[in-house]
């Protein structure tokens, strides 16, 4: 697929480039710790063309943390997100969390962190909603709202390529082939997102932190994702029935879903924060 190119520069990062006749787009720009490497990959692939858009699947540090550095490298680039994502980006707490988790990730991976950027770089330029399409020339990007991982999560469909680009709401497949539950803000919205996305006539599936997966993985993905989300809900409710403390719940959650493979691509602090959010959202919906 010569129009959709994997430019991911680190196993924990993001960045897949879509080439249109008139415009280009990157789906997430990844982590700050590998911003320079990602930018160089994008520049090399563009071969003198400019980068027009960055489509944000959501506003977490490992997906758009490198945005300030992309704005320096591509001054005219426009960040595309939902109205919810746009509202998140201008708030002080999310900006602080992006910086703190970027620093933590750099330290954990032994990479020098360059925190010399303005938080004002975290802003939306184009706000989209479900069903909107942006034409890149000979190829277009359709917006699919998929809240569940975050409230601002978006997925995208490229009809000309029969390509579906998913957010983390439906689950993340790890390098060892296992799947990790990634819903942080809503169980039912994640179920709805799976049903919404699986209806698209796709031949190719691009997953977070991977890019396009093989046809066998793509064919089984949505069934596996649905089973995992329901299994995770039942596991969390069972912990509640046992009357465990918060620390005990977190430790059991890690034993079930954590692994050395997962920790190789996600710091433990990020895992714990996400696990607490997943547990809380299930308790909230099944109170």
Convert the pLDDT of each residue in 111-154 to its tens digit: 887 788 999 999 999 999 999 999 999 999 999 999 999 999 99
CA–CA gap between residue 63 and residue 287 (Å, rounded): 32
As a whole number, mean pLDDT of residues 181-198 equals: 96
**Which residue from 206, 82, 204 is spatially nearest to 143, judged by alpha carbons?**
82
Give pLDDT tens digits for 243-266.
999 999 999 999 999 988 888 888
Task: Give the pLDDT band (50/70/90) at residue 178.
Answer: confident
Give pLDDT tens digits for 220-236.
999 999 999 999 999 99
Other CB atoms closer than 10 Å to residue 281's CB: what's the count?
A: 21
Tell me how far apart the 2 most distant CA atoms of the chain are, in Å: 60
CA–CA gap between residue 192 and residue 51 (Å, rounded): 33
Cβ atoms of 152 and 122 closer than 8 Å: no
As a whole number, mean pLDDT of residues 23-31 equals: 97
CA–CA gap between residue 256 and residue 260 (Å, rounded): 12
Find the Cα–Cα–Cα–Cα dihedral 68, 152, 80, 103, rounded to 10°.
10
DSSP for residue 229: H
Indicate the pTM of the whole model: 0.95
Check the CA dihedral 222-228-234-240 and report its sign.
negative
């Amino acid at each position: 697929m010569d129009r959709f190119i994997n430019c991911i520069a680190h196993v924990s990062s993001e960045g897949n480039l879509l080439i249109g006749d008139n415009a280009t787009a990157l789906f997430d720009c990844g982590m700050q710790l590998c911003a320079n490497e990602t930018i160089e990959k994008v520049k090399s692939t563009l071969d003198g063309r400019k980068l027009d858009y960055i489509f944000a699947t959501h506003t977490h540090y490992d997906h758009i943390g490198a945005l300030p550095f992309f704005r320096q490298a591509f001054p005219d680039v426009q960040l595309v997100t939902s109205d919810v994502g746009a509202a998140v980006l201008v708030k002080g707490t999310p900006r602080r969390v992006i910086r703190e988790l970027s620093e933590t990730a750099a330290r954990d991976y032994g990479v020098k962190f360059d925190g010399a950027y303005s938080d004002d770089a975290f802003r939306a330029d184009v706000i989209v909603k479900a069903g909107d399409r942006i034409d890149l020339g000979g190829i277009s990007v359709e917006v699919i709202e998929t809240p569940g991982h975050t409230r601002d999560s978006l997925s995208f469909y490229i009809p000309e390529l029969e390509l579906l680009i998913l957010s983390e709401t439906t689950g993340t497949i790890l390098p060892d082939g296992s799947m990790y539950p990634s819903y942080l803000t809503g169980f039912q919205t994640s179920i709805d997102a799976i049903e919404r996305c699986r209806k698209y006539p796709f031949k190719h599936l691009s997953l977070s932190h991977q890019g396009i997966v093989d046809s066998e993985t793509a064919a089984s993905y949505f069934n596996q994702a649905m089973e995992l989300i329901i299994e995770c809900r039942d596991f969390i409710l069972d912990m509640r029935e046992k009357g465990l403390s918060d620390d005990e719940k977190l430790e059991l959650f890690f034993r079930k879903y954590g692994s050395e493979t997962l920790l190789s691509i996600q710091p433990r602090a990020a895992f714990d924060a996400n696990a607490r959010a997943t547990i809380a959202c299930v308790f909230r919906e099944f109170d």
